[in-house]
Each structure stands twice: as structure tokens, then as C-alpha cells.
Structure 1
Amino acid sequence: MFEYFICPFLQYGFMQRALFGSIVLSVSCAPVGVFLMLRRMSLTGDAMSHAILPGAALGFLFFGLDILPMTIGGLVVGLLVALGSGVVSRFTVQKEDASMAAFYLISLAVGVLLVSWRGSSVDLMHVLFGSVLALNDEALALIVGIALVTFVAFTIFWRALVAECLDPLFLRSVSRIGGPVHFLFLTLVVLNLIGGFQALGTLLSVGLMMLPAVAARFWSNDVRSLCLIAITIAVASSLSGLLLSYHASMPSGPAIIFCAGAIYVFSALAGRRGMLSSLLRSSRHKTA
């Protein structure tokens, strides 16, 4: 048991760095995913994860796999896509989900073309799927910085974020901070996707954000409890995914998301608000 669960993290520095980066990402991304889920914007997170690709690709195009240019490019383009889709939905007949889908498909295509233009297939795979086992000091510093920003933002604006999430019309009727809080939340989404991009790539970064959040929904209704449960699921997925990738020689990023998906399926079946509980309640009502 010790050799299976503990030794990989004691013997190899890259496993320690991967575990540290994954845990910090879990603590930062999971609460953001909870708010996305409660806002019914789960697919928006997926769209935004693809939307940052052109900016990251431009940074890669001019500076290679340097973290700072790719981060700045991803942040700028991600925010532009979020604002652009919002403007289109506000001033045209198109809904925000449709405009977001259009923007993210264009962004994904442009990003892949840019990386393919100057890079190799290995570079493209690195950008799309990341490499959590290859996190360096710069990537870890970026992930920790994003986690700190997220923690401070949630600490200061917690009530406003909850109010804007559950009843945005009420918040806008009693305060003028509804719009700024919404923009702040979108910024946090983009920042955490950029952090996840360093470890999991643009295609899988949203997985550690959304799968723990939607799995937590089967266990609680309270927002704080949802965030804590989502963080616990994300950490467990990171730990089990890294161990699975090590012992089964699997890609680390997909292994982490696979474990998160397995926990989601279990929660959907056996959770306090899952299918089995619903069936038991229904049978009790019928017998009563």
C-alpha cells in the first residue's frame, strides 16, 4: 500500500510538483466551477477554455513555450471573446450561448492553425492537452498567483457573487455593482482556465473546474458546502489521476479528468440527491 500510494511522490520530484500544482488548481478552480454551474453557464466554461487558445498560440508563435506571453495572450483574447459574445447577444437577436459557441469555434480553429503554422505536432498536443508532469517553477508560480487572486476575490466579494449568481436582477435593483461583479467573475473564469491550461491544456482545463462542481451538486444545496465538496472531489481526482497515470503509464491530464468523471458517475448514482436516493424516496411515497 505504501509503495503504491506514497512512494511515487517521495521518489520523484516531477510527481511532487504535479501533485502540488494539481492541488492548488483544485482549490482555485472548483469554487469557480460551482458558480458557473449555479449560473447555468457550465458550457460557457468549456467555450471559454477554447477561446483562450488563439492568445496562447500568438504567445507561442513569437516566444515559444514561454509562460508569460502565452498567459497574457490567453487572458486578453479570453476576455475579448467574453465581451464580444456579450455585445452580440445584447445588440442583436442572438442569445449569448449561441454567440459564445460561434466565438469559441472560431477561436479554436484560429488557435490550432497558429500553433500548427510554426510548431510541430508535439507542440500542438502540449497546447491542447498540457503536461501536468512537466510543470516548472514559472508555471507553479502562475498557478499559485491565480489561486491567491481567486481566494482574495471570493473573500471580498463573496456575498455579491452569490447574490449575482442566484438573483442578478435583485442585485442590480439594489446596487450598481451587478455589472462589475459579473465582469469580475468572468475574469476569474478566464484566469483559472489559464492556470488549468498550463497543466491540462485548453481542451481539458475546464474538466477540473466543472466535473467536481457538478458532482458536488448531488451531495448538497448550500453554496459553501458545494464549494468545499467540489474542492475535495477535485483534490481526490488529482491524486488518484496522477497515481493512475504513474502505475498504468497513461497521460496524466486525461487520467485526472477520467477520475473526476468516475466520481461524477458515482455521485449521480449514490449521492444524497442522486438517482438511487430519488428511487428510494419514490418507492417510499408509493408504499405510504
Structure 2
Amino acid sequence: MIYHFLIEPFIDYGFMRRALVACLALSISTAPLGIFLLLRRMSLVGDALSHAILPGVAVGYLLAGMSLIAMGIGGFVAGVLVALISGLVSSRTNLKEDASFAGFYLGSLALGVTLISLRGSSVDLLHLLFGSILAVDSQATLFVGVIASVTLLILAGLYRGLVMETFDRSFLQVNNRFAPHLIHGVFLALLVLNLVAGFQILGTLMSVGLMMLPAVSARCWAKTLPGAMLIAVICGLLSAWFGLAWSFAAALPAGPAIVLTASVGFFISILFGSRSGLVRSLCRGWITTSKGIK
């Protein structure tokens, strides 16, 4: 039964194999980014940027149709612009960065939906918002693979600086005035780049799910940063595999099934995680109360 559920669909059907490979590549690159977003208290920024890329995707769609390159470039440019403008607004006004992102991403989402509606059908809109992972072709798989590889290489090169900028920004700024801004900018560019890759698979509304849910789950188990990254990657890989298998067996939409599987892992981690196990905390409180009554 396990073979028929978890293995056979990926052996018998090429579209399932391509979807799995694309999801695995995306999980490997987005999970570490999700961990850094958590550590920086920027969890909702990823969600905001995933919506902010939609106007650029829509412009690419209007100019070139369902062109992977055109929509990818448009989405990347739109995401970077929103990130830069939001940072500028938060630094020049009394608005916090999260409030600035919220204002711009809501406007971006509405603008993107409006632009797509001018020319596209409801099917095209659903494709861009929720993805069509089972329709991923070899070109899209290669596109995601290249982005994942570039992301891992840049993260490896900037790892020490990124960790220092996350935990002790002032120390890094004393030694190099421009380093924190440069590292932060590169990090946001990588974030947008991976969201652009994710929208090809899971759509603009679901792409952040595979980035944040495994990362949050990992934080419930790991005590070190490398351990959290490893667990987050494993959670992402398992979510993609089980989600695709589950969607195939039950005839469910694949993208939401993957994110829902990651959500199940998140709830399990909250309940039983070694660092934030709710069940263990409740049991400990019940035992303490019982001893106090006696």
C-alpha cells in the first residue's frame, strides 16, 4: 500500500516526477530563507512579497502571454521595487517596515488581479494565483533548479555575514558601514527570486507556504541554526512528496495539498516539538497541579 501511495505515481507518470523534482529543488532553497525570515521577525514580509510580484507577472503576461521568462523577469522587478520602496518609506517616515509592506502588497495584489483581468480569463487568473504544479514542463523545472542552485551558492558565500547581520547588526555596521545594507538587499533579492520560482509551481498565493511552514516547524525542534535549516529542508521535502502523493490519490489540487501537508507538520511540531511541545507543557502543568492538590 505504501508503494502504491508514495512511489508508484512518480514511476508511472512523467508529470508527477517533474512536479516532485521542481518541489524538491524549491524546498532546498526556500527553507533556509524561511529560517532567516523567522530570526529577523520578518515572517509576514515573505507573504507580502509573494503578493507584490503579481503586477510584474501580470505585465509579463500581457506582453508575452504565458512566457516563463517574461513573467519571471516582471515578477522579480516588481518584487524588488516593492521591497526597496517599502524600506525607503519605513526609513523616512514613522511607519514600521511591516506596515509599509502591508500597504504596498495589498495595492500590488489588487493591481495584478486587475491587469490580468484586462486580457486573461478566469483560468489564467487561477493559474497565476494558485499555480499549476502538475503542468510543470522541463523548462520550468530547469528554471526552478537554476534559481535553487544560485540561491544556495550565494547563501553559502554570505552565510557568516548574514548570520552576523541577523543577530548583531550594530557590530557589523561598526566594522563596515555599508555591509548590513548590502547583505539585507541581497537577502531580499534572493527572497523575491525564490518567490518568482515558487509562483511557477504553487502560484503567488501559495508559494510562501513552502518557505515558511517548514521553517516554523523546524524552530519547534532545533536548538541550533544549522540544525533548524536541515530540519526545515527535510520538512519541505516530505511535505512536497506526501502532498503530491495525497493529491494524486484523492484527486485534489496539488498546490494546496502540499501546503496543507506542511500545515499538518506545523501543527504536529507545535504539539510535540522538543522546544515548544504544547502537549508536554500541558502534561507538566497538570502534574504540577495534581501534586499541589495532594
What is the TM-score normalised by the length of structure 1? 0.97
Q: 1:93, CA displacement in angstroms?
A: 1.4
Q: Which runs of 5+ in 1 are unaligned?
A: none
1:154 Cα offset (Å): 1.2
Letter in 1 for 2:65: G
Cα deviation for residue 277 of structure 1 reads: 2.9
Q: 1:61 to 1:272 in 2, by over 3 A?
A: same
Please give the alpha-carbon distance, in whole angstroms, between the structure 2 residues aligned to 1:204 and 1:215. 17
> What is the one-letter code of the residue matched to 1:201?
G
- Give the partner amino acid of 1:188: L
CA displacement at 1:282 relative to structure 2: 4.7
Q: Quick one: distance in 2 between partners of 1:169 and 1:133?
A: 46
Tell me the equivalent position of 1:85.
86
Q: Which residue is 1:138 aligned to?
A: 139
How big is the shift at 1:88? 0.5
Alignment-derived partner of residue 180 in structure 1: 182
Structure 2 partner of 1:155: 156
Aligned to 1:270: 272
- Residues 1:16 and 2:17 are matched in the alignment: yes
The CA deviation string for residues 74-132 of structure 1, in whole angstroms up to 9 with x for no partner, is 01110000000001111111111111100000100000001111000000000000011
For the aligned residue pairs, the C-alpha RMSD in angstroms reads 1.3
Matched, 1:116 2:99: no
C-alpha contact 2:270 2:278 (8 A) present in aligned 1? yes
CA displacement at 1:148 relative to structure 2: 1.0
Bigger CA drift: 247-256 or 153-162?
A: 153-162
Other structure's SS at 1:242 match? helix
For residues 174 and 187 of structure 2, the distance between their equivalents in structure 1, rounded to whole angstroms, comes to 19
Amino acid at match of 1:221: K
Q: Matches of 2:182 and 2:209 in 1, distance apart?
A: 27
CA distances 1:128-164 after superposition (whole Å, capped 9, x unpaired): 0001111112211110111111111111110111111
> 1:70 — aligned with what?
71
- State the alpha-carbon separation in 2 of the partners of residues 129 and 35 from structure 1: 25
Describe the superposition over 1:204-253 as per-residue Cα deviations: whole angstroms up to 9, x where unpaired. 00000000000111001211111100000000000010011101000000
1:257 corresponds to: 259
Matched AA of 1:275: L
The separation in 1 between residues aligned to 2:287 and 2:161, in whole angstroms, is 40
Deviations 1:139-197 (A, max 9, x none): 11110111111111111110111111122222212223111000010011001101111
2:224 is aligned with 1:222: yes
Aligned length: 288
Q: TM-score, normalised by structure 2?
A: 0.95
Counterparts of 2:7 and 2:141 in 1: how far apart (Å)? Answer: 22
* Secondary structure of 2:94 counterpart: coil
Secondary structure in structure 2 of the residue aligned to 1:182: helix
Kindly provide the amino acid, as one letter, of the partner of residue 153 in structure 2.
V
In the TM superposition, what whole-angstrom CA distance separates every residue of 1:239-276 from its partner, at most 9, and x where no partner exists? 01001110100000000000000000000001102212
Mapped partners of 1:69, 1:167: distance in 2: 39
Aligned partners of 2:58 and 2:71 also within 8 Å: yes
Structure 2 distance, partners of 1:136, 1:5, is: 21
Compute the displacement of 1:279 (Å). 3.2
Unaligned residue ranges in structure 2 (runs of 5+): none
Q: Residue 220 of structure 2 aligns to a residue in which SS?
A: coil
* 1:4 shift after superposition: 2.0
CA gap of 1:118–1:38, structure 2 versus 1, over 3 A, is same
